[in-house]
Structure 1
């Protein structure tokens, strides 16, 4: 049968439809009206009880400026990565679920797939109940599951919030905010509109805090250990909470967090988002990023912002009709712990097991403050270009500075728009994996664990490049 006469394969894309709708901040009824569908029919599409027709694809392309081919062929990368993570767990690994089966589950039964991944994450959290209890008793950070739920909620919106962008642009225009005078302008806004003065205090007075709003004394207290260029950001974040509280509250209610700590963390993330949008307005920043081919150092100079702040802003450029290059960002410590990540729709992240040591993410710790461009390819064939930098920030009182590596990158198809691709010297992307249990590459001298679904070929008389020799699938 020729390609012309072969019937079109049915496309079930419920998870992608639901994710797209949430990214746009629409209810089912609002999305259905925009697409010219009934709410009940869209509900059936999102539950994979009806395939996506050519007419629906055309409507999606027209209304949401969507690439039909990528939408029809794509799989929810983060959902698939979470499924592979679950399948690699010692409890499930004897079943031998392979990538084909997991992809089919993600595509045809996305709600069941999400339920499985959530169950696995809950199981993993319960397995570490003793450590969690110790953390809570010592006044430590909230549960890892709380932080993950906030990261997932940001990913569901593609880390883009039109409401905050518009509010930030309006305030920047009202204040006539200029890069060279923004600290003075923001100080004046805090004092004139809210009766709050900005003061810088010694570390001993701040008690380890970098910023604290003293409502009784009507003053915003900033630590002297904070870099001068970071102070406008903290003023802007405080303004976000003071002036955009209702809008931030509405946005924080949408994900429906089970834990109140998650909602609080989400509110903080939204306030920080507003601050970035105020200091690096969307239109100006997006144009500069394109003109400078996403040269982070030059963007830092132009907007007088830190490396991490610029990387974060690059992940937010998803305004419909004015989208930038889709970037991911991840921040890790020398032990491989992820403390920040954005862009799961661009690059899926492993939730456990650490990241691949062959990624330049870890090499950055050997040359702090140096930019390291790196091209890499995942086992599924997707290619990326990234740049990594190890940055330091002040530690707690009496402790040494904190060293972290921050990576930002995009798919290889956008490499011509990124200056760091020019510095790769024509080298092909290096093969890496998300984590050892989710990577089927063999042999690998860096492997710490065998991959899921692969038998071990153990021979006491033979030693390979790595600790595991793999048998047949």
Structure 2
């Protein structure tokens, strides 16, 4: 299966079946032979550009949705799972992995979930073996991880909520009017909810008192945070049925997962209401993804802007495919999504050579990096430090780095590419995904050896690492 060829047999078959057409009728409609269609549906031949255009013309589909990054995300997750030493006896080729993810995505998801359970069970056995006696739920994914994977595999785009938010934003005149004032007036006029200041010593962002119809907000929070919390409350009051339907379809294992996802879905609506899709997409194009200018235009924080950019996955109206992550000082990825080929590791910290870590050393600055992953794909990455807190000198502040980037083929759409030499091989820093699955043999920042490589030790020679990788 050569790189760059498009094998989308399952999607073509689903499209044909949804049209209730036989192979012969479907093939005739798009102008190919029945035997060619049969080979496409069984992934024996790739889809040509002319066939893809014919599918788009006759069935009004978004070409991007047929060749999107959902398979890339699933392929990345499956590859990482199979890199575990437990699968030492089996090293599938890229062709085999692609066949599985494209033809049997349900099986791929099940294998990933099984490996996740195995890993968690092994880790907990090592340090909490006494808990094994008291509970039989250790092998289940944590609710947080289950919800994180839900958003990951729906491409971080929730159509029902995004469209509902855009309709409400249009009716309220967002973003042309002051969003915070508009949402405050909407809560009061439609729901009788008053916006009040929380007590000075109350450590909250938002507290809603249903019986008195009062929403208390932290007066020391930034305006963008207070606006977001009002939008969240609107989701609580107006989108309950829609959110409940989404959760039911997700079929979470536990009620705890469902409740955590409910928060995530309300957060999603809040971001989409503050930053309505088509206005925001147009602003991103006009301002060339300048985070600071976009934050000023839309009255949002840098993190809200970067996060929203990662959700621009509406079929037929997609934005530039970006990756987005929020990282704490210990290197933990606390938010992540990628519509690009770069997929974040599900386990372990991020690559130390990534500029997201450097952001902590240069607070207040947006830093740029040209980077190349081991698969040869090149990226533009920008990162900056953000601080969350408020309330004065003695109040603790949480510090994170946020990183946003795209494949270098889209770099011209970003103001951050200006002045960079995108043609020089030496301008790109070699980065990986995670040390445990990175195959680079000469990385001076390697923390642990790759899982599926043999190590060789020469006691008469020592380089940066005390071993060499076979």
**TM-score bracket for the superposition, by shorter chain length:** 0.7 to 0.9
5+ residue gaps in structure 2?
Answer: 27-37, 135-139
Distance (Å, rounded) in 2 between the aligned partners of 1:221 and 1:372: 37
Task: Return the TM-score normalized by structure 1.
Answer: 0.81
Question: Contact between 1:374 and 1:424, CA under 8 Å: does it hold in 2?
Answer: no
TM-superposition CA deviations, 1:57-83 (whole Å, max 9, x none): 456544322159x939x8823223323
The Cα shift of 1:384 comes to: 1.3
- The 3 A distance-change label for structure 1 pair 344 and 153 is farther
- The 3 A distance-change label for structure 1 pair 437 and 61 is farther
Task: Return the TM-score normalized by structure 2.
Answer: 0.82
Task: Return 85-94 or 315-324, whichever deviates more.
Answer: 85-94
The Cα shift of 1:53 comes to: 6.2
Partner of 1:407: 403
TM-superposition CA deviations, 1:97-155 (whole Å, max 9, x none): 66666556545654443322111101122234477999xx9xxxxx9632222222223
Partner of 1:384: 379
Distance (Å, rounded) in 2 between the aligned partners of 1:46 and 1:151: 33
Q: 3-state DSSP class of the match of 1:332?
A: strand
Q: 3-state DSSP class of the match of 1:225?
A: coil
Partner of 1:6: none
Distance (Å, rounded) in 2 between the aligned partners of 1:45 and 1:366: 54
The Cα shift of 1:465 comes to: 2.8
Given the alignment of the two structures, is residue 210 of structure 1 paired with residue 205 of structure 2, yes or no? yes
Question: Contact between 1:155 and 1:345, CA under 8 Å: does it hold in 2?
Answer: no
Partner of 2:465: 466
The Cα shift of 1:36 comes to: 5.2
The Cα shift of 1:45 comes to: 10
5+ residue gaps in structure 1?
Answer: 1-8, 22-27, 138-142
Given the alignment of the two structures, is residue 253 of structure 1 paired with residue 248 of structure 2, yes or no? yes
Distance (Å, rounded) in 2 between the aligned partners of 1:375 and 1:417: 15
The Cα shift of 1:88 comes to: 3.4
Partner of 1:33: 18
Count of residues in correspondence between the two structures: 438
- The 3 A distance-change label for structure 1 pair 456 and 338 is same
Question: Contact between 1:377 and 1:383, CA under 8 Å: does it hold in 2?
Answer: yes
Q: 3-state DSSP class of the match of 2:311?
A: coil
- The 3 A distance-change label for structure 1 pair 292 and 467 is farther
Partner of 1:277: 272
1:211-360 equivalences in 2 (<5 Å): 211-343=206-338, 346-360=341-355
- The 3 A distance-change label for structure 1 pair 45 and 396 is farther
Distance (Å, rounded) in 1 between the aligned partners of 2:216 and 2:41: 50
Q: 3-state DSSP class of the match of 2:336?
A: strand
Q: Which has the higher contact order (CA 8 A, sep 6+)?
A: 1
Partner of 1:448: 447
Given the alignment of the two structures, is residue 157 of structure 1 paired with residue 142 of structure 2, yes or no? no
The Cα shift of 1:434 comes to: 0.3
- The 3 A distance-change label for structure 1 pair 118 and 60 is farther
Given the alignment of the two structures, is residue 188 of structure 1 paired with residue 173 of structure 2, yes or no? no
Question: Contact between 2:351 and 2:432, CA under 8 Å: does it hold in 1?
Answer: yes
1:42-53 equivalences in 2 (<5 Å): none
- The 3 A distance-change label for structure 1 pair 457 and 354 is same
TM-superposition CA deviations, 1:346-370 (whole Å, max 9, x none): 4211111211100001111111231
Distance (Å, rounded) in 2 between the aligned partners of 1:162 and 1:442: 43
Distance (Å, rounded) in 1 between the aligned partners of 2:45 and 2:455: 40
Given the alignment of the two structures, is residue 197 of structure 1 paired with residue 194 of structure 2, yes or no? yes
Q: 3-state DSSP class of the match of 1:355?
A: coil
Q: 3-state DSSP class of the match of 1:170?
A: helix
Question: Contact between 2:321 and 2:339, CA under 8 Å: does it hold in 1?
Answer: no
Q: 3-state DSSP class of the match of 1:316?
A: coil
